[in-house]
């Protein structure tokens, strides 16, 4: 999902780096990923949570690019002490130019006032977690809380620059969630990459998981017991979680010019799409076709 709005362009101005088949990725520092699978309570949940965390870990690690640090806590390792230690380590290492992604899988509880993430041994509350997260200086942060009652943690975790996704809209949605399953599925399913730039962003994964969660309840004729929430779509669109294309460096000056041309065409396409509702449909289509053909030819020339 390319961002073209208020966050400013996420394209590289110099266009020196390319994802194979995709023009843009963000010019940020490293991304720290921490995935935690909490206490299952029952064997089925235990197995499910650990499997989701393991799959996430594998996909993050397999994703092209070296600008990522991936850590996963699950099973007996997912204790409060280890979570605190991992967060402290990230706090010590991460810089403002970096990004941080926390993914929480498991059960959560909410007593009307305070959310708790269930871990083997002592749980951790929303405010306690917030204190640890606030020590991390990474300029862009994403918390994906996929536990039951996760909506109950939002107020505590809110912070400028931190995108929060929760599987439930409030702390009162207390049933075990299915959102996590579809979130993880999004990371591996090419269909989640709706703009086909070979990268799956948090927004794309969120939309994919929401659609699948809705279908899950609709198909089974059960009342939906969870309603995921994402407050800031624009920022979520800027968070790349996994990539399927490889980064390549364009060194040929001639191709650099082509890359610039390509950027220019893409900007024109974006501008045209913004004007769509105001334009005659035939004229819009004609202009769009012309630009898309130019873009395709340019891309082909770059790849030659």
Residues in contact with other proteins by CB under 8 A are: 21-23, 190-197, 207-208, 211, 218-221, 266, 269, 273, 285, 288-289, 292-293, 295-297, 299-300
Of residues 113 and 190, the one with the C-beta less far from other proteins:
190
DSSP 278: G
CB of residue 20 vs other proteins: minimum separation in angstroms? 9
Residue 245 CB, shortest distance to other proteins, in Å, is 9
Cβ atoms of 150 and 170 closer than 8 Å: no
SS3 of 144, please?
Answer: strand
Q: Name beta bridge partners: 115.
A: 110
Q: How far is the CB of 136 from other proteins (least distance, A)?
A: 32
- Cα–Cα distance measured from residue 248 to residue 239, given in angstroms and rounded to the nearest whole number: 20
Strands (E), 254-301: none
Minimal distance in Å, beta carbon 102 to other proteins?
A: 25
From the CB of 77, what's the least distance to other proteins, in Å? 22
Taking the C-alpha atoms of residue 230 and residue 36, their distance in angstroms, rounded to an integer, is 20
Q: Which is nearer to other proteins, 98 or 193 (CB)?
A: 193
Closest CA to 64 of 246, 186, 241, 196: 246
Distance CA 152, CA 173 (A): 9
Which CB, 112 or 190, lies closer to other proteins?
A: 190
Task: Give me 295's structure tokens.
Answer: 């873009």
Name the minimum Å distance from CB 198 to other proteins.
8
The residue among 20 and 92 lying less far from other proteins, judged by its C-beta, is: 20
Q: Closer CB to other proteins, residue 93 or residue 301?
A: 301
Q: How far apart are CA 225 and CA 6, in angstroms?
A: 34
Question: Please, which residue, 110 or 179, has the CB nearer to other proteins?
Answer: 179
Question: For the residues of 194-229, what is the DSSP string, one character each?
Answer: TT-SSEEEHHHHHHHHHHHHHHHHHHHT-------E
């Amino acid at each position: 999902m390319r961002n073209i709005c208020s966050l400013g362009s996420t394209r590289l101005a110099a266009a020196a780096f390319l994802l194979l088949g995709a023009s843009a990725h963000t010019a940020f520092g490293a991304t720290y990923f921490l995935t935690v699978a909490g206490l299952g309570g029952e064997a089925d949940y235990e197995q499910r949570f650990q499997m989701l965390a393991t799959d996430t870990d594998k996909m993050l690690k397999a994703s092209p690019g070296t600008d990522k640090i991936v850590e996963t806590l699950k099973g007996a390792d997912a204790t409060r002490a280890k979570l605190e230690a991992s967060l402290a380590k990230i706090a010590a290492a991460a810089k403002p130019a970096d990004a941080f992604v926390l993914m929480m899988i498991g059960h959560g509880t909410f007593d009307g006032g305070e959310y708790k993430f269930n871990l083997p041994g002592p749980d951790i509350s929303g405010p306690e977690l917030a204190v640890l997260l606030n020590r991390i200086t990474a300029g862009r942060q994403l918390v994906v809380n996929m536990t039951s009652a996760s909506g109950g943690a939002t107020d505590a975790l809110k912070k400028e620059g931190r995108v929060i996704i929760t599987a439930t809209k409030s702390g009162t949605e207390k049933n075990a969630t299915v959102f996590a399953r579809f979130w993880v599925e999004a990371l591996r399913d090419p269909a989640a990459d709706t703009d086909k730039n070979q990268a799956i962003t948090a927004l794309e994964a969120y939309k994919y998981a929401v659609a699948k969660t809705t279908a899950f309840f609709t198909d089974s004729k059960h009342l939906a017991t969870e309603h995921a929430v994402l407050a800031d779509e624009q920022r979520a669109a800027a968070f790349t979680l996994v990539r399927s294309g490889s980064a390549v460096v364009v060194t040929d000056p001639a191709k650099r010019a082509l890359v610039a041309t390509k950027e220019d065409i893409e900007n024109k396409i974006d501008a045209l799409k913004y004007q769509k509702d105001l334009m005659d449909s035939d004229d819009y289509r004609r202009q769009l076709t012309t630009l898309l053909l130019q873009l395709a030819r340019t891309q082909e020339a770059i790849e030659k």
